Structure 1
Amino acid sequence: MTAFMNVLGKRLHSCVFREISYQINYQNKSKATNYRVASVTNHAANKHNSNNAKKEKKIHIKAETPEDVKCDWVGPPDFSSNIRPVKLHIPADESQLERNYRLKREEIVKWNHDFWTQNNANFLKEKEEFIKEKTSGQSDRDDKDPSKSLTPEEMSVFYREFLQKYYKKHLYYNMDWYKRNIQLLWPALQVAVYGVKKKMFHKKT
C-alpha cells in the first residue's frame, strides 16, 4: 500500500509540474506575442506618420543557372511563371537510356514553365484592363495604384470571369500534366534498374 501511494504521489507531482510549466510557458509566449504585436503596431504608426519615410521597392533578382552541377539543381521561382527552374545533372558516363529520360523531364519542365508564363501574362493584362475600365471617370481614383479604388467584392467579379474564361484551358492543362508525368514512370523505373545493375557491376570489378 505504501509503495502504491508513493507511485501515485510521484505521478501527481509530475502532472502538476507539467501543468505549471505549461502555464508559465503559455504566459511567456502570450507576453512575447503581445510585445511583437505592439512593436509592429508602433513601427507601422511611426512609418505612417513620418513625412520622410521612403517607399519600399521590390527588387527582382534573376537567378543564373549554373553551367556544371554535380546533382539536380532547383532555383528560385521564375519572375514570369512562378515556376522554379530545374537544372538536371548530366553524368559523364550518361547512357542513352538515362539521356532519353532526362530529356523527357526537361521537356515537361519547359512545357510547364511556358504554360504558366502565358497564363500569368494574360491574367495581369486582363486585370489591368478590368481595373482601368471600372475606375475610369472616378473622382476618387488612385492614379498610383488604381486597384485600391476597387473593393474586394468588385475585384471578385474579375477573378470569377477569368476562371470561367480559361476553365477549359486549365482543365486540359491538368489532364496533360497527369498524362505527361505518368508517362515518365516507366522510363524512371528503367533508369532505376539500370543504375542498380551498374552499381553491382562496379562492385564485382
Structure 2
Amino acid sequence: MEDSQKPEPPFLPKHIKENWIGPPDPVSKIRPIRHFIPENETVIEKLLREKHANVLEWNHTYWKKHNKAFKRERRQFVEQLQERQGADTAVTDDQMADFYRDFMERNQRKHRQYNLQWYGHSARLLGLAGLVAPLRLLRALRLLR
C-alpha cells in the first residue's frame, strides 16, 4: 500500500510519536492505523511495518466488500418479504434468522478462504515480529547503559 494510492482520512494526524489508531471505518468497521516510523528504523522493522499496513488494507478491503454485500442482500430480503406480506408488515426475528443463516451458508467458502489467508498473514507477521523484538530489546539495553 503506497501513500500515493489512497488518500489519508482527514482525522489521521500527520506527525506522531507512537502508533495512532483511528475510529472504525463506517463500512468495514476496521480501525485505521498510522504507524510511527522511528528515525533509526532498520530494514526488518520497515518490512514488518509495511507488511502490517498491507494486511490491514487487505482486511479493510475484504470487510468493506463483505459488509456492503450483506447490507444490500438484507435490504433486498426485507423488501421482497414486505412485497409478499404487505408494506406495513414487520420482519420477524425468525425471518431475519433465516436470512442470516442463508447468507452465511452462501458465503461459507469465501469466509473459509478469508480465514486461511488471515492465518497466513498473521503467521508471517509473527515471524517478522519475532525477528524485530530482539533488535528492539538490544536497542533499549544500549540506551540504558
CA distance in 2, matches of 1:149, 1:66: 45
**Structure with greater proportional helix content:** 1
Instruction: Measure the CA separation in 1 of the matches of 2:80 and 2:101.
Output: 17
Q: 1:50 aligns to what?
A: none
Task: Tell me whether 1:153 sits opposite 2:94 in the alignment.
Answer: yes
Partner residue, 2:133? 192
What is the correspondence of 1:1-205 to structure 2 with a 5 Å cutoff?
A: 64-136=11-83, 138-139=85-86, 141-142=87-88, 149-203=90-144
TM-superposed CA distance for 1:199, in Å, is 3.0
Distance 2:22 2:144 in 1: 35
Per the TM alignment, residue 137 of structure 1 is displaced from its structure 2 partner at its CA by 5.1
Q: How high is the sequence identity, in percent, across the aligned residues?
A: 32
TM-score (norm: length of structure 1):
0.62
Q: Deviations over 1:37-61 (max 9, x none)?
A: xxxxxxxxxxxxxxxxxxxxxxxxx
Q: CA deviation at 1:160?
A: 1.0
Q: Which consecutive unaligned segments of at least 5 residues does structure 2 have?
A: 1-8
The count of corresponding residues between Structure 1 and Structure 2 is 137
Cα distance in 2, alignment partners of residues 86 and 192 from structure 1: 20
Shift in Å at residue 203 of structure 1? 4.7
Distance in 2 (CA, whole Å) between partners of 1:201 and 1:152 is: 61
Question: Between Structure 1 and Structure 2, whose CA radius of gyration is higher?
Answer: 1
Distance in 2 (CA, whole Å) between partners of 1:164 and 1:170 is 10
Deviation per CA, 1:23-80: give whole Å up to 9, x if none. xxxxxxxxxxxxxxxxxxxxxxxxxxxxxxxxxxxxxxx8711111111111221101
Higher mean displacement: 158-167 or 194-203: 194-203
Post-superposition offset of 1:154: 1.3
Q: Shift of residue 159 of structure 1?
A: 0.7
Q: Please identify runs of 4+ aligned residues in structure 1 that moved more than 4 A.
A: none
Q: What is the deviation of 1:201?
A: 3.7
Q: Deviations over 1:136-190 (max 9, x none)?
A: 1544x24xxxxx6211111112111100000011111111111111111221121
Q: Deviations over 1:111-143 (max 9, x none)?
A: 11111100000000011111111111544x24x
Contact 1:73 1:86 in 2 (8 A): yes
Partner of 2:6: none
Structure 2 counterpart of 1:198, which letter?
R
Which structure carries more relative contact order (alpha carbon 8 Å, separation 6+)? Answer: 2
Q: State TM-score, norm by structure 2.
A: 0.85
